């Protein structure tokens, strides 16, 4: 039986078409579009272009995937190189390098029925290493009312932390306080112990810590008291909204943060509670409304058990 000539030609054409389709290369305009997106280094753009290319050139998905895998490998290698560079920079940094922090200042003056003047200053510094973290903080509150000093308080603290695991850390804490209005010329506290990151996300962080403490108090009258006790505390930071618009021309970021330190010994219990709301005006400048509560269960004779302070300050980050 002889096969008709027309059938032979049709079969030959189908085979040639199938071979051409199987060996077809990614069209030059599509390849150029993908390469242009890769050149920007923008992962979002590359993902969008790759997805469109897959939908419109399904037969070339293998070649498209190869281009995408090459880009992802470049991104991973670049990230690894940058991470290694930063780690080396941190390891070789000097003692006074890689410190970051915020300075705060607030002041007021009033005349008329009362003559008041006051100033509130604060400085917070932080240095993060590979395993170590150092925190330095200090505050000054001073106020005069009708010619009389009605508030004079100084507070300084240094806290080093060593990261044992991603969530567990050890800490040391040295504190100095002076509040002559409350009745003590100086109070020193030295503590150390363990801490744990209960929550650690981009927007919410909560760390708790506890350990023994030794405290020395020197009263205004000259008496001195030394006691052992226990310390418990937490640090809390919450980024409420990444971009909160208050006015037409100022984008602000509102954040709230708080710390609490409780020290208990056989004779006295003290609680220092700090919380605040910070609104960022620019990359470095922000405003902050904060509230501080200091509780002393057994204050000196001229002192009170609870002392509070509300501050509105300008904050500069560096």
Claim to verify: residue 167 and residue 301 sit in the same structural domain: yes
Single residue among 27, 62, 91 that ends a domain in this structure: 91
pLDDT in tens, 278-289: 888 888 888 888
pLDDT confidence of residue 244 = 46
Q: Are residues 267 and 309 in the same domain?
A: yes
Query: pTM of whole model > 0.75?
Result: no
In a domain, residue 1? The reply is no
58 is a domain residue: yes
Distance, CA of 60 to CA of 26 (rounded, Å): 6
- Are residues 83 and 230 part of one domain? no
* Element spanning 6, H or E: helix 5-22
Evaluate whether residue 2 is within a structural domain.
no
Residue 187 included in any domain: yes
Give the residue among 174, 181, 184, 154 at the shortest CA–CA distance from 261: 174
123 shares its domain with 47: no
Read off the pLDDT of each residue in 46-70 and give the average, rounded to a whole number.
89
- From 45, 71, 91, the end of a domain falls on 91
The strand pair at 204-219 and 184-200 is best described as: antiparallel
Domain-located, residue 53: yes
Q: Are 215 and 295 in the same domain? A: yes
Instruction: Quote the CA–CA distance of 161 and 174 in Å, as a whole number.
Output: 12
Q: End of a domain among 40, 58, 91?
A: 91
Chain position carrying tokens 């504190």:
175
Number of domains in the chain: 2
Whether 209 and 110 share a structural domain: yes
Q: Looking up tokens 């008291």, which residue turns up? A: 225
Which residues are CB-contacts of 303 (< 8 A; sequence separation ≥ 6)? 181, 182, 183, 184, 296
pLDDT tens profile 214-236: 999 998 888 898 889 999 999 98
In a domain, 181, yes or no: yes
Domain check: are 69 and 175 in the same one? no
Q: Are residues 214 and 264 in the same domain?
A: yes
Q: Are residues 75 and 201 in the same domain?
A: no
pLDDT (0 to 100) of residue 6: 46
Q: Are residues 78 and 161 in the same domain?
A: no
Instruction: State whether 148 and 82 are in the same domain.
Output: no
Report the range of poorest mean pLDDT among 149-153, 178-182, 244-248.
244-248
54-76 average pLDDT score: 88
In a domain, 50, yes or no: yes
Q: Is the confidence at residue 124, as pLDDT, over 90?
A: yes
CATH of the domain at 228: 2.40.160.40
State which residues form the domain around 20.
Answer: 7-91
Q: Read off the pLDDT band of 243 (50, 70, 90).
A: low
Integer CA distances (angstroms), 238 to 156, 192, 206, 223, 318, in order: 24, 26, 9, 42, 20
Query: Are both 268 and 129 inside the same structural domain?
Result: yes
């Amino acid at each position: 039986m002889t096969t008709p000539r027309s059938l032979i030609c049709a079969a030959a054409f189908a085979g040639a078409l199938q071979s051409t389709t199987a060996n077809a290369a990614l069209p030059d305009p599509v390849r150029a579009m993908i390469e242009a997106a890769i050149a920007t280094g923008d992962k979002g753009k590359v993902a969008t272009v790759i997805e469109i290319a897959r939908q419109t050139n399904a037969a070339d998905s293998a070649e498209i995937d190869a281009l995408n895998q090459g880009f992802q490998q470049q991104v991973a290698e670049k990230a690894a190189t940058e991470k290694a560079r930063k780690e080396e920079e941190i390891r070789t940094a000097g003692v006074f390098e890689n410190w970051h922090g915020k300075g705060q200042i607030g002041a007021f003056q009033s005349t008329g029925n009362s003559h008041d003047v006051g100033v509130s200053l604060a400085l917070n510094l932080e240095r993060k290493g590979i395993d170590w973290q150092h925190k330095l903080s200090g505050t000054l509150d001073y106020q005069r009312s009708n010619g009389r000093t009605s508030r004079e308080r100084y507070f300084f603290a240094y806290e080093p932390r060593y990261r044992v695991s991603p969530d567990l850390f050890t800490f040391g804490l040295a504190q100095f306080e002076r509040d002559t209005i409350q009745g003590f010329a100086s109070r020193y506290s030295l503590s150390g112990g363990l801490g744990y990151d209960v929550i650690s996300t981009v927007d919410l962080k909560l760390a708790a810590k506890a350990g023994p403490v030794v405290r020395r108090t020197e009263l205004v009258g000259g008496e001195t008291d030394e006691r052992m006790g226990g310390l418990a505390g937490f640090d809390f930071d919450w980024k409420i909204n990444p971009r909160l618009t208050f006015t037409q021309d100022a984008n602000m970021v509102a954040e709230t943060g708080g710390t609490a330190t409780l020290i208990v010994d056989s004779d006295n219990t003290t609680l220092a509670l700090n919380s605040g709301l910070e609104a960022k005006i620019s990359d470095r400048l922000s405003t902050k409304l904060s509230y501080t509560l200091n509780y002393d269960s057994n204050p000196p004779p001229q002192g009170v058990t609870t002392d509070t302070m509300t501050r509105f300050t300008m904050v500069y980050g560096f």
